[in-house]
Amino acid sequence: MEDTRTLLDLIYILSAITFILGFKLMSRPATARQGNLLSALGMAAAVVATLMFPEVVRYTYILAGLVIGAIIGALLAYRTPMTSMPQMVGLLNGFGGAASLLVAWAEFVARPEQPVYQGVIIWLTVLIGTVTLSGSLVAWAKLEERYIPTKPVLYPGQRIVSILVLAAILVGGIWFATDTAAPEAMHVLGVVTALAFALGILLVIPIGGADMPVVISLLNSYSGIAACASGFIIQNKLLIVAGALVGASGIILTLIMCKAMNRSVANVVLGGFGADTPGKAQNVAGEIKPIKPDEAYFILEAANSVVIVPGYGLAVSQAQHTVRELMEVMEKNGTEVRFAIHPVAGRMPGHMNVLLAEANIPYDALVEMDAINPTMDTVDVCMIIGANDVVNPAALEDRSSPLWGMPIIEAHRARTVIVMKRSMSKGFAGVENPLFFRPNTRMLFGDAKASLQALVSEFKNSN
């Protein structure tokens, strides 16, 4: 028995090392796949080793869960388009919280008599896991744009209600942890679970759609923290390490994205983007100058350098492969083509990177916002495909704008700007974009994929 436990601990240590190395590899696009595979292999080894432990005496439900879960996961991965990837990531965060919640409840039901510190850990796991579950469901519904409005849902006394719910959860936690064997302890934990579910909803509904990338990374952090806490409950060292890694990386990513938006985490959590506007935005003056694909072709054909700024519209039209074709024909024409990536473009962290990687666009062609901005004055054409708020110059020029202070890709400084949009609709933040009215901006209206295909055809027909 002692030898088996030692072997299990050794496998856990090796698995933890693969997680750390996997995180390191995933920090670079060129090695991200290897990092993901290495971490998956480490987790698979840990799961197999755990199942071989003598204390596991019944495999029926475990195997059934593995088979059913694998089938559902494979179907979701196969059938989910890139446009729905943020929603799926949000749901996976919620499932992680639900798993930790179930572990906490299972441990309490199996062994009601727990010391105070263990009761506190069970309560914390239930709280964080349930908030992650309900918050992720709301985030998913907002991203679907069908069940809950993407704009902040606000009502009078909202923060007071949230504070009262949190206070009730704290009181219930103290009551539960001090005597987990009491007859009413299960009822108290049930009430705490219900209140935590409500708290998750209350925390996410006032957050606007423009903040969804930050919310998803924050909920990912919550799911890691909940997993770490559940590791303490069942005394599983690897679960503690894995949860801590996910929790810490999620918090770091959240801070990075908040910095990219020039906002604090508290500002994101306590109010949605555009929910409280500091003043009336300046009136946008200028004239819209629409162009057709053949006219845009002449502009691109004469350009020595082109920067493409992808946004959510690129994902909606599934145009990533077509934009790679356009890149190839422009490079054959002697044009330098780069992609400018804003940290919060899209609906989840790294959305644009994943989208372009799917189309096999070289990693070297992707340039971060801080690296591209100093060179923007030398760019002949900046082509914006489905992006809006991340290129809005009001963030730099209009103190009354809700976007004021948010770092943007400074596309307006390019010699010519071509904006590809379906219409003149506002971005997710609900803010007008004065870039569209600039003298150096041309608007190419229509579906992004169709417009890009027309441009590719123009290049091919000219040769």
Residue 425 burial (C-beta neighbours within 10 Å; 0-12, 13-18, 19+): exposed
Q: Tokens standing for 328?
A: 């190839």
User: Token match 């596309």: residue?
Assistant: 411
- Give the number of C-alpha atoms closer than 13 A to the C-alpha of residue 454, restricted to the C-beta side: 17
- What the block records as the tokens of 78 is 């196969």
First-to-last C-alpha distance (Å) of the chain: 74
Q: How far apart are CA 34 and CA 141, in angstroms?
A: 32
Per DSSP, what are the bridge partners of residue 420? 385, 444
DSSP string, 76-139: HHHH--GGGHHHHHHHHHHHHHHHHHHHHHHHHHH-----HHHHHHHHHHHHHHHHHHHHHHHH
CA neighbor of 349 nearest in space, from 269, 252, 427? 252
How far apart CA 189 and CA 398 sit, in angstroms, is 50
Q: Is 87 exposed, middle or buried (0-12, 13-18, 19+ CB in 10 A)?
A: buried
The β-bridge relationship of strands 381-385 and 336-341 is: unpaired
In the annotation, is 389 catalytic? yes
As beta bridge partners, residue 441 has 417
Q: Token pair 């439900």 is at which residue?
A: 61
Q: What's the rounded Cα separation, in Å, for the pair 16 and 22?
A: 10
Catalytic residue among 3, 364, 389, 447: 389
CB atoms within 10 A of CB 60: 7
Residue with tokens 């103190």: 399
Kindly list the catalytic residues.
389
